[in-house]
Amino acid sequence: MYKYTDKRFKTNQIQVLLHTELDELSRADYAVTEYILADCCKKFPTYSELSKHLANLYGASLWSKTVTTWYGKRCTSLVASVLDDRYALNGEKLEDEICSVLCECLLAPNAENGAFDAQITELQKKELIDNIDSVINEKSSYAAQRANIAAFRGEPFEFPITGSHEEAERVTPESAYRAYKRMLKTARIDILCAGASCFETAEKVFSERLADIERGEICKLSITPSRLKSVPEIFEDTIPMQQAILRMYFKSPKIYDRFANFLFASILGGMTTSRFFQNIREKQSLCYYCSCSADRALRTLTVYAGIEPQNIDRTRAAILAEIDDICQNGVTEEEIRAAKLEARNTILSMNDNPGAMITWYHNQILDDKILTPEECWAEIDSVTADRIQAAAREYTLDTLYTLCSLDHNGEEDAQ
């Protein structure tokens, strides 16, 4: 159990994280299960009853989420936020109560005879299907989903965490409940708390309530870099749309300098003074946006740009030219100063709310040494230009993906 206390806060946030292996055949079942666990339980069998109880706890909130983690596992979280006991008008034990509610939702869901409540399951199943189908309307998300299939074939990130529409259609109260029981039995369970409390009450409640869970082979966490293809692969999807979206994946299975890598990605395409923004968007007017992000566990660099279809080839070439320039000529001291200032502001702001602090420490769950925001900033501040150039040189182009209109005939035809 991780606890972070800061008396500046007036609220407490508590997250129960369940890490499980990714099985593409049951992703939709896990997704529906997550919805159900945050919606009701036996003690509060409807969403209305649960919401009313939370409202009586000075407007406490409870929600859930499921993500594919940076270390390649499914992470289902039950999250609750509540006012600290110090501010309860009549001495209510709010921390104790919200922890009890979390345990009720997790350990005593609205289910019997090996199945979730049929009506609730159907409602959550429809919501999941709507969410899956809505991705097509958000072209950036759709492109990312499709590109991941190409870039991470055979790896956990290949498929969306929600599963497909067809998989969601097959979810039943029984299949979702089986996923729930498997999750409780095999999940690595982490409890992270941040806020004004010292969380002794939370530790006591969870120790008592989780002690009797039947456990099996527990999910083991490890960092597994994405596999680099022997030669880059090119993929294109076509759907009706006015613009085009370009995604380029670079991989570096052997890179270990995460602080230099962080600054490299920032200088290249992670801030408004980045090379992509200044040179490709502003000077050459090749795109509406062009950015990148680095994943330190997968050891990938993902570049994404929104462009006119006739500029696809030129934008690809411009992106590669910017990366090659850093590899050959390095970065300037002015670029380093700007990136470090951006990093400092972002990293030190993590202290500003309980949720951000939980995210901060959860993202270091597999690190040999856990760093505070201040310690991480000190590491980044020590990075030199040579280290950034060395990080850039580790990357190799792996996957090129484009999403564009059905009638796109290529740049040459447009000219």
**How would residue 414 be classed by pLDDT, with cut points 50, 70 and 90?**
very low
| Distance separating alpha carbons of residues 36 and 413, to the nearest angstrom | 52
pLDDT tens, position by position, 184-225: 999 999 999 999 999 999 999 999 999 989 999 999 998 889
For residue 81, give the amino acid letter.
S
The mean pLDDT value for 22-41 works out to: 92
**Residue 156 clears pLDDT 90, i.e. is over it:** no
pLDDT in tens, 114-151: 999 999 999 999 999 999 999 999 999 999 999 999 99
pLDDT band at 41 (very low <50, low <70, confident <90, very high): very high
Mode of pairing for the β-strands spanning 188-195 and 2-5 = parallel
Could you give the CA distance from residue 253 to residue 227 in angstroms, rounded to a whole number?
7
Task: Report which residue type is found at 184.
Answer: L
pLDDT of residue 150: 95
For Cα atoms 262, 263, 266, give the angle at the middle one, nearest 5 degrees.
90
Distances (CA, A) of 123 to 33, 36, 108, 204, 276: 12, 9, 19, 35, 44
Higher-confidence position of 408 and 68: 68
The interaxial angle of helices 373-381 and 258-269, nearest 10 deg, is: 80
Spell out a b/e string for 254-273, using b for 16 or more CB atoms within 10 Å of the CB, else e.
Answer: ebebbbbbbbbbbbbbbbee
Give the pLDDT confidence score for residue 407 in this predicted structure.
66
Average pLDDT, rounded, for the chain: 94
Confidence of residue 412 (pLDDT cuts 50, 70, 90): very low
Q: Is the pLDDT of residue 415 over 50?
A: no
Q: Using alpha carbons, select from 29, 67, 53 the residue that is nearest to residue 104.
A: 53
> Who wins on pLDDT, 157 or 183?
183
With a pLDDT cut of 90, the percent of the chain lying above it is 88
How confident is the model over 145-170, as a mean pLDDT? 93
Please state the rounded mean pLDDT for residues 237-250. Answer: 95
CA atoms within 13 A on the CB side of 392: 25
- d(CA 331, CA 340) in angstroms, rounded, equals 13
Going from the N-terminus, what domains does the chain have, and what CATH number goes with each?
2-210 (3.30.830.10), 233-414 (3.30.830.10)
Amino acid at 414: A
Give the residue carrying structure tokens 């597999």: 366
DSSP per-residue letters across 328-359: HH---HHHHHHHHHHHHHHHHGGGGSHHHHHH
pLDDT tens digits along 245-265: 999 999 998 888 999 999 999
pLDDT (0 to 100) of residue 70: 81
Greatest alpha-carbon span in the chain: 74
Report which residue type is found at 390: A
Identify the residue whose tokens are 């039995």.
Answer: 185
Q: For residue 405, name the pLDDT band (cuts at 50, 70, 90).
A: confident
